[in-house]
């Protein structure tokens, strides 16, 4: 069980799948932000839209590790 305000640690597989989805050619920043929101909503989280776009930009950077992705998701996810 998660404590209040905590986001679960996502599996490497989930994070890799999200990164692959974000890297698909043809996605604009709005679509990528929406994909991130759907990823989190599918796991029971709300999304801080003000920070979601910035998180997408960080995740799309080639140097963003899985730990970096987890950190970015924690910044935008709202525990419901």
Tell me if 35 is assigned to some domain. yes
Q: How far apart are CA 44 and CA 66, in angstroms?
A: 20
Q: Kindly state whether residue 52 falls inside one of the protein's structural domains.
A: yes
Q: Is residue 36 one of the residues assigned to a domain? A: yes
Residue with tokens 């080639």: 62
Number of domains in the chain: 1
1 located within any domain: no
Does any domain span residue 6?
no
Q: Which domain holds residue 34?
A: 12-79
Phi, psi (degrees; rounded to nearest 5) at 29:
-65, -35
**65 in a structural domain:** yes
| Distance (Å, whole) CA 65 – CA 69 | 6
pLDDT tens series, the chain, 80 aa = 344 456 778 999 999 999 888 887 678 889 999 999 999 999 999 998 889 999 998 888 767 899 999 999 999 999 87
């Amino acid at each position: 069980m998660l404590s209040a305000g905590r986001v679960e640690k996502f599996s490497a597989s989930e994070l890799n799948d999200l990164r692959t989805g974000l890297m698909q050619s043809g996605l604009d920043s709005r679509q990528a932000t929406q994909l991130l929101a759907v990823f989190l909503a599918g796991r029971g989280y709300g999304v801080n839209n003000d920070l979601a776009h910035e998180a997408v930009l960080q995740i799309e950077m080639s140097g963003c590790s899985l730990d970096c992705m987890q950190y970015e998701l924690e910044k935008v996810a709202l525990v419901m």
